[in-house]
A and B are shown apart, each in its own frame.
Chain A
Amino acid sequence: MKRYPVVIGATVAGLAGILSYHTSNLTSPLSSNLAVGPGSGSTTTTTKPGTTSTTGGTTSTTGGSSTSTTSTSAPPAVTTSSATGTGEQYGYGILSVKVTVKASKILDVKVAKLQTADTYSQSLAQQVIPYLSRQVLKAQSSRISGISGATYTSEAYAMSVQSALSQLHFR
């Protein structure tokens, strides 16, 4: 059974694309234990992926020398780098974010610029943005592929994140 991307496209339309890069290697540990198939009805019995027991691991105790050689390749030496994404127009203003990455990991996403037409939009954006930031960071280990019910703010956010990441040649 193959597990499909655990990319959080997030509300954050667009992030799906951006983050798929990392998630592909993060998904494998979860792959074997999700017992829910399509059409299994309403009360779904899910095995929580987070608590996956290593059923996939073969315990071959016969004389054969088949030990699984999971060589942990040393991570390449890397530096931390940042880029500011384009200012994205959205329904209520302009939003731009600054993304910091190290190796293939997003370390931080901050708001570089936020201009809104009115105070209501401002407070709305300030309410939504921390959530989006957390989603971006969580996406690297999240089990969710997208969020239904996206909104303007999140779309602008996603586009700015994407442009920042492409400046960092993050794909």
Chain B
Amino acid sequence: MLGHAEKVMGTVVSFTVDCGSVPDDSVRRAVARACRLLHRMDDIFSTWQPASPMSRLRRGELNLDDVPPEIPQVLEQCAEARALSNGWFDPWAMPGGVDPTGLVKGWAVEAAMKMVREAGVPAALVNGGGDLVGFRPPSSVPWRIGIRHPWDASALACVVELEDAIATSGSYERGAHLLDPRTGQLTTAAASATVTGPSLALADALATALAVGGDDVLALLAALPGYDGYLIRSDGTEESTERMAFTS
């Protein structure tokens, strides 16, 4: 088992890799490539860096033909997530211009995972500041992921078995930071919102949508093949879609 933690995108992305029969050196090189990718994505998408292509696009200094191809790719996925979430995830409703932040971390972490996978390793888990994506051989036991309890820092809300990806959005540590695209106001409707599914990019965006839209989005998730949701409302009540893979 090989581990690496990289500070990037304003968070830490950690890799846990089962090297199998692949030499450690090859795995390390793959992880290093994945980290370079993450930094490149950070440079492109950062809305904190005024000179990033994303920032320049937001200010109207660049148009979509002039930016790195990853930006239109991500925006396309943002549009998909907006449609799937019935507008509860809406990067175009953010102040200061289109802001794909709610999807791009998951997207980048997923791309990093794929780079590690290309090294031929049997299993790996990539944790991008609490949004995780993993893979493993078909017959192996799933990764088990705890979901942080929104109020009791000494407890987990629950444990789920990870099929592909999991993202959790909440207002517990950073305070209210989610904007309701319909009202333009900060929202604290959900204490914690978790989405699992095949794509971390989409899970990331949908977790944001679930945190803002609550039960409406949970109903959407129930009808979305491959995706599941788990909501802890601000009054402490909980609800999840039927197939959410809770375990003990």
- Cβ of B3 and Cβ of A155 under 8 Å apart? no
Interface string of A122-147 (1 = CB under 8 A from B): 00100110110010000000011111
> What is the minimal beta-carbon distance from A145 to any residue of chain B, in angstroms?
4
A131–chain B nearest beta-carbon distance, Å: 5
Main secondary structure of the interface of B (DSSP, over half): strand
Contact at B159–A144, with CB atoms within 8 Å? Answer: yes
A17-B16, A151-B173 known; A42 vs B245 contact (CB < 8 Å):
yes
Interface string of B129-147 (1 = CB under 8 A from A): 1111010111111111111
- B153, A143: Cβ atoms closer than 8 Å: no
Compute the total of residue contacts between A and B using a CB distance below 8 Å. 181
Chain B's closest residue to A39 (CB) is B163
**Cβ contacts under 8 Å, A15 to chain B:** 14
Q: A21 vs B226: C-alpha distance in the bound complex, in angstroms?
A: 33
With A34-B141, A155-B129 known as contacts, the answer to whether A20 contacts B16 (CB < 8 A) is yes
A151 shortest CB reach to chain B, Å = 4
Inter-subunit contact A17/B4 (CB<8 Å): yes
A1 to chain B, nearest CB (A): 6
Collect the chain A residues with CB atoms within 8 Å of residue B247's CB. Answer: 36, 44, 46
Name the B residues within 8 Å of A8 (CB-CB): 146
Best-surrounded residue of B130, B132, B156, B243 (most CB of chain A within 10 A): B130
Q: Evaluate contact between A150 and B153: CB separation under 8 angstroms.
A: no
Sort chain A's interface into a size bin: 35 or more
- Closest Cβ of chain A to B3, distance in Å, is 2
For the complex, give the distance between the alpha carbons of A150 and B142 in Å. 20
Interface size of B in residues (CB-CB distance below 8 Å): 60
Q: Are A48 and B145 neighbours in the complex by a CB distance under 8 Å? A: no
Residues of A contacting B167 in the complex (Cβ-Cβ under 8 angstroms): 148
Indicate which residue in A9, A36, A155 contacts B141 across the interface (CB closer than 8 Å). Answer: A36
Q: By the criterion CB–CB under 8 Å, are B246 and A148 in contact?
A: no
Q: Are B168 and A38 in contact (CB under 8 A)?
A: no
B130, closest chain A residue (CB):
A150
Within 8 A of B (CB), among A12-41: 13-21, 23-24, 31, 34, 36-41
Some 10 contacts from A to B, beta carbons below 8 A apart, are A7-B1, A9-B127, A16-B3, A36-B142, A46-B248, A145-B16, A145-B125, A146-B146, A149-B147, A158-B5
Which of A's residues lie within 8 Å of B, judged by CB?
Answer: 1-9, 11, 13-21, 23-24, 31, 34, 36-42, 44, 46, 48, 91, 124, 127-128, 130-131, 134, 143-153, 155, 158-159, 162, 171
Given contacts A36-B161, A147-B148, 6 further A-B contacts (CB under 8 A): A6-B144, A16-B3, A37-B139, A38-B163, A149-B148, A149-B172
Report the 8 A-B pairs with minimum CB-CB distance, sorted nearest first. A17-B3, A150-B130, A149-B168, A14-B5, A149-B148, A20-B1, A151-B173, A148-B168
List chain B positions with a Cβ less than 8 A from chain A: 1-5, 7, 11-16, 18, 123, 125, 127-132, 134, 136-148, 150, 153-154, 156, 159, 161-163, 166-170, 172-174, 192, 194, 242-248
